[in-house]
Amino acid sequence: MPDFADPPRSPGTRRGPARDRLDPLTHGAKRPAAGFTLIELLIAVAVVGVLASLAYPSYRSHLVRSNRAAAQGALMDIAQREQQYLLDQRAYASSTTALNVTVPPNVAKVYAVSIALTDGPPPTFKISATPVPGTLQDADGELSIDQAGNKTPTGKW
C-alpha cells in the first residue's frame, strides 16, 4: 500500500532534515545561511545611536521640568501652611519642622528648601528652593514664593 502522507519524490532527493536545506530552484544547491551581515548590524547600531542622541536631551529637559514642578508644589504647600500658622500663632514659622511638614524626598534630592522671615509690621516670609550642586537642577536656578504669593522667577512658574 502506498504512503499518501509523503509527496512523490524525484530521484536523487533526500528525505528528512537534509531535504530542508536543499533549494529546489537551484537544483539541490544549498541556500545561503539566513541572518544579518556585519554591515546590516552596523547600520542598525548607527540608527539606534542617532535616535538615542536625539532623545536623551529631551529626556533630561523633561526631568528638569518634572523636578521643578514637584518643587513648586512643595513651596506652595509650605506657603499655605505658613499662612495657617500665622492665623494660629500670630507669627510665621521659621522652619518646616515648626510647620509640621517635610519636604518630599524627590524634591529634597535636588533642591534645598529654606524659609527666611522678616519681622516688622507686617511680618513677611520668603520660601526658597535652591538647586543642589551637581544635580540636573543645578542650571535651573532658584525658585521662591513669599507671603503675598509672589513667585520668582516668573518665567518658571
14: pLDDT strictly greater than 60 = no
Which cell is 150 given? 509672589
Residues 54-65 have pLDDT tens digits of: 999 999 999 999
The count of other CB atoms within 10 Å of the CB of residue 105 is: 7
Minimum mean pLDDT among 12-21, 23-32, 128-137: which range?
Answer: 12-21
Q: Which three cell numbers stand for residue 102?
A: 517635610
Residue ranges of domains in the chain: 38-156
Taking the alpha carbons of 59, 110, 99, 147 in that order, is the dihedral positive or negative? negative
Predicted TM-score of the model (pTM): 0.69
Kindly report the average pLDDT of the chain as a whole number. Answer: 86
Give the pLDDT confidence of 121-152 residue by residue, as tens digits: 889 999 999 999 999 898 889 999 999 999 99
**Cβ 152 vs Cβ 126: under 8 Å:** no
Q: Work out the burial of residue 141: count CB atoms within 10 Å of its CB; fewer than 13 is exposed, 13-18 middle, 19 or more buried.
A: middle
72 exposed, middle or buried (CB, 10 Å; 0-12, 13-18, 19+)? middle
Tens of pLDDT, residue by residue over 60-88, are 999 999 999 999 999 999 999 999 999 99
Least confident of 29-33, 39-43, 103-107, 119-123: 29-33
